[in-house]
Chain A
Amino acid sequence: MSIQRDQSLMAEPPVAAIGGGTCSPAPWKASVVAELAEVVRNEAVNAEYRHLVANCSEEAARAQPGQFFQLLCPQPAGEQPFLRRPMSLYGADPDRRQVEFLYKVTGAGTRGLDTLRPGDRLDIMGPLGVGFTLDPNWRHIVAVGRGAGLATLAPLAKAAKANGTQVTAVFSARRPGLLVSVELFHRHGADVIAVTDSEQTSGPANVERILRRHIAEGRCDAFFTCGSSRLMRVQQRLAREFGLPGQVAMEQQMACGIGLCYCCVRDFNVNGEIVNRRVCWDGPVFDLMEALP
C-alpha cells in the first residue's frame, strides 16, 4: 500500500545519514548487528578487572574508539539479568575480526560475563554510539581516566598513534595494583602518569598541577576523559582557561542502547541552555564543555 504525501512536508530533506541513506535503491544493509561472538579469552587482569577477547564479524570489529557494545550477559547462578549491559570498546582488530572488552565485576550482568570460557558464545550488539574524534592537527593530547574509564580511553591511544599524535595518559586508581592498561598505552607510545588514592597523588589539586605542566610545555592540544566527574571538572576549568578543546565519554544506565527508549538521558549545558540528551545515541562521547557532572 502507499500513502499520499504532501510534498511541502518534504521541504527539509530526510536525514540520509542514518544507516547509510534512506532513499537509495541499493539494498539495505545493517550497520549495527547483534551476533554471537566466540569468546577467545576471558581472564582477570587484576583484583577487579577482567579482559574479554572475542571473535566477531567484520562489522563489529570495525568499531571506533569511544563506541560501545550492548552485551547480552549470560545468567549467573541464581540471578537473571534481563537487559543488555553497555561496555566500551577496549580494542578492535578488523583484520583478525576481534573485539575486546575490559570490565569490572559489579553486579548480576558482569558476574554473568565472568562465567564465560574460551569457546563460549556471547551475544554482542554494536558498534553503538558516537566515539571520539581526533583532529589530524593535534600533536599532543592528554587523556585522563579513572576506573573503567581507562578501558574507554585505551583504543584512543592506538588511534592517536596512527594519527601521529602523542598521548599522555593520566591514570587514577585507588591503589597501584588496580591500574589497568598501562602496558597497552606504553605499547602505543603513550606516556603514562599514574596517580593513586593510596599514595595520595590522585587528588584534583595534584592532577591539576600535572595538567598545567603539560599545557605550559605545549603538550596538550586537547583533553580526553572518562570515569571521574571530579577529574572532568578540573579539565573543564583548564580547558576554559586556556581555550582548549576536549571530549568526555559518559555513562548512564541503558535499556535499548540505540536511541529508542530515553532512559539514558543526561543534562548538558549547551550555550547556557540545559538540554537533555541520550547518552547512547548522542554520545557516549560529548563535548567536554557541555557535560554536567
Chain B
Amino acid sequence: MNAAINAGMRAAADVDLSVGIGGLTLRNPVMPASGTFAEGLEKVMDFNRLGAFVTKTITRELRAGNPLPRVVERPGGLINAIGIPSKGVPYFIEKTMPHYAAYDTPLVVSISAPTAEGFASLAAELSVPGIAAIEANISCPNIEEDGKAFAMRAESTEKVTRELRRATTLPLWVKLTPNTGDVPEVARAAEAAGADAVVVANTILSMAIDLKTFKPCLGNIMGGLSGPAIKPIVLRQVFQCAKAVKIPVIGCGGISTAEDAVEYMLAGASAVQVGTATFLQPAAMTTIIDGLEAFCRRREIPRVAELIRGVVIEETDEPDLAWLDPVP
C-alpha cells in the first residue's frame, strides 16, 4: 500500500473510510453479502477489519435446504439454489452469535419468513444485545401472496416492512429482489414503511440446462445468478433506488474489486456487500477495503463517504429508455 503513494498525497491517516448506515456507523463500507459468509473466513481475514458481519439468512423453523446440485457456474457468474438451510433461532443465539461476539464489528442478522407476521416475530426474537441490525431478506416466497416474493411488489414490501418496524427498534435493512419491474418503487415502499436502509439486491432468477442429459443443471431447476455477470444490472438498480429514496442504499451484486465498489458508491451506494467474489478470492473484502483507501488517497478524497452519489450526470432529464421498451 505504502509504495503506491503518489506525490502530493495525504498521509494514510487522512482517509476516513467510515460511513453511516441508518443509525450505525461502520468503520468502512465493506461487508459480506448474506449466504457467502461464515466463521470459516476468519482463517483468511482479520474480522476486525470488516465494516460489518452479515449472516446467512436464518428462519424460525429448521430447514434442510434445496436438493443437490445446488450450484452451477456460467461464464462470469454462479447460479445457486442453496435454499435456506437453517438450524433455527436458539441455535443461532447460542452457537453462532458467540463466534462474532469477540470482535468489535457490528453483527447484522439476515432473516426470512413466509409471512409478514413471521418476519415480525422473528425480528422481535432476535432483537437481543449483540445484534446491531436486522436485514430482512424479502426475496423469499410470500405464502399469503401465492408464492410471489414480498419484494416483487411495493404493497407486500410495505406491509412486511411496517410489521418489522413495529416489532424491533434495531436498525432495519430491507434486502430487495432484482426480479421485479420497478425496484425503485419497491425501495420507496420500504422507506415509507420505516426501513433504515435498503440492500440492492439479491440474485437474478435464472436457469441452466445440461446439454448431455437435457436436464436442468440445478436440483431446484431455477436459481439465482450472482457474480461479475450481474454487476451492470444491479448497478443500474442502485442508481435508480438512490434517486428514489433518502435512506441509504447498500449495493450488492458482482462486486469483486475496489473499483467495483467505487462505481457502486458513485451510483449512490452508501456501503457495499461482497458475495461471490469471496469464493474466488477469499480475502476479496480486505483487498477491497485497502483498494478503497488507496483510491481515495490517489484522488485526494479525504472521506470515502464523499463518493456516495458522486456520479456526474450532465443531463438533468431522465435518460430516454423508450427504445428499450417501445410503447405500441
* Interface pair A3/B279, CB less than 8 Å apart: no
Closest to B100 in A: A14
Q: Give the chain B neighbours of A18 by CB distance below 8 A.
A: 39-40, 42-43, 99
* Interface pair B128/A9, CB less than 8 Å apart: yes
Any B CB within 8 A of the CB of A138 = no
In the bound complex, CA of A239 to CA of B99 (Å): 37
Known: A30-B43, A80-B76. Contact between A260 and B85, CB under 8 A?
no
With contacts defined as CB atoms under 8 Å apart, how many contacts are there between chain A and chain B in the complex? Answer: 140
* Interface pair A83/B73, CB less than 8 Å apart: yes
* Interface pair B44/A30, CB less than 8 Å apart: yes
Q: Give the chain B neighbours of A28 by CB distance below 8 A.
A: 46, 48
Instruction: Pick 20 A–B contacts, CB within 8 A, sort by A.
Output: A1-B25, A4-B129, A5-B101, A5-B129, A14-B101, A15-B98, A22-B42, A34-B44, A253-B68, A255-B279, A256-B282, A260-B37, A260-B279, A261-B35, A262-B65, A262-B82, A263-B82, A265-B65, A265-B70, A281-B40
Question: Nearest chain B CB to A238's CB is how many angstroms away?
Answer: 29
* Interface pair B102/A32, CB less than 8 Å apart: no
* Interface pair A13/B98, CB less than 8 Å apart: yes
Known: A255-B71, A259-B38, A260-B37. Contact between A9 and B101, CB under 8 A?
yes
In the bound complex, CA of A10 to CA of B95 (Å): 10
Q: Give the chain A neighbours of B93 by CB distance below 8 A.
A: 9
Question: Nearest chain A CB to B34's CB is how many angstroms away?
Answer: 11
* Interface pair A32/B43, CB less than 8 Å apart: yes
* Interface pair A82/B85, CB less than 8 Å apart: no
Question: Nearest chain A CB to B296's CB is how many angstroms away?
Answer: 20
In the bound complex, CA of A252 to CA of B278 (Å): 19
Question: Nearest chain B CB to A77's CB is how many angstroms away?
Answer: 14
Interface string of B1-37 (1 = CB under 8 A from A): 0000000000000000000000011110000000111
* Interface pair A32/B282, CB less than 8 Å apart: yes
- Chain B contributes a number of interface residues (CB within 8 A of A) equal to 57
Question: Nearest chain A CB to B106's CB is how many angstroms away?
Answer: 6
Q: Which of B41, B65, B94, B279: most chain A CB closer than 10 A?
A: B279
* Interface pair A82/B40, CB less than 8 Å apart: no
* Interface pair B99/A15, CB less than 8 Å apart: yes
Interface string of A116-135 (1 = CB under 8 A from B): 00000000010000000000
Q: Give the chain B neighbours of A50 by CB distance below 8 A.
A: none
Any B CB within 8 A of the CB of A6 = yes
Q: Which of A12, A261, A276 is in CB contact (< 8 Å) with B64?
A: A276
Any A CB within 8 A of the CB of B130 = yes
Any A CB within 8 A of the CB of B281 = yes
Any B CB within 8 A of the CB of A19 = yes
Closest to A274 in B: B64
Any A CB within 8 A of the CB of B227 = yes
Q: Which of A15, A23, A262: most chain B CB closer than 10 A?
A: A262
Any B CB within 8 A of the CB of A271 = no
Closest to B85 in A: A262
Closest to A29 in B: B46
* Interface pair A276/B85, CB less than 8 Å apart: yes
- Size bin of chain A's contact surface: 35 or more
Any A CB within 8 A of the CB of B222 = no
Q: Which of A221-271 contact B (CB under 8 A)?
A: 252-253, 255-263, 265
Q: Give the chain B neighbours of A255 by CB distance below 8 A.
A: 71, 78, 80, 279
Known: A1-B24, A9-B129. Contact between A261 and B71, CB under 8 A?
yes
In the bound complex, CA of A258 to CA of B102 (Å): 21
Question: Nearest chain B CB to A67's CB is how many angstroms away?
Answer: 12
Known: A12-B94, A13-B98, A28-B48. Contact between A256 and B278, CB under 8 A?
yes
Q: Which of B38, B75, B104, B132 is in CB contact (< 8 Å) with A82?
A: B75
Q: Which of B65, B76, B101, B280 is in CB contact (< 8 Å) with A10?
A: B101
Interface string of B35-73 (1 = CB under 8 A from A): 111111111111110000000100000001100111101
Q: Which of B45, B56, B129, B282: most chain A CB closer than 10 A?
A: B282
* Interface pair A253/B69, CB less than 8 Å apart: yes
* Interface pair A259/B65, CB less than 8 Å apart: no
Q: Which of A1-51 contact B (CB under 8 A)?
A: 1-6, 9-10, 12-15, 18-19, 22-23, 28, 30-34
Question: Nearest chain B CB to A82's CB is how many angstroms away?
Answer: 4
* Interface pair B46/A9, CB less than 8 Å apart: no
Question: Nearest chain B CB to A86's CB is how many angstroms away?
Answer: 12
Interface string of A75-106 (1 = CB under 8 A from B): 00000111110000000000000000000000
Known: A1-B24, A260-B278, A263-B71. Contact between A82 and B98, CB under 8 A?
no
Q: Which of A72, A260, A265 is in CB contact (< 8 Å) with B41?
A: A260
* Interface pair B41/A253, CB less than 8 Å apart: no
Interface string of A264-293 (1 = CB under 8 A from B): 010000000000100001000000000000
Q: Give the chain A neighbours of B101 by CB distance below 8 A.
A: 5, 9-10, 14
Question: Nearest chain A CB to B202's CB is how many angstroms away?
Answer: 15
Q: Give the chain A neighbours of B99 by CB distance below 8 A.
A: 14-15, 18, 22
Known: A6-B128, A34-B281, A84-B279. Contact between A19 and B102, CB under 8 A?
no
Known: A1-B25, A9-B101, A72-B280. Contact between A258 and B44, CB under 8 A?
yes
Question: Nearest chain B CB to A246's CB is how many angstroms away?
Answer: 25
Q: Give the chain A neighbours of B24 by CB distance below 8 A.
A: 1
Known: A30-B43, A265-B68. Contact between A256 and B36, CB under 8 A?
yes
Q: Give the chain B neighbours of A256 by CB distance below 8 A.
A: 36, 278-279, 282
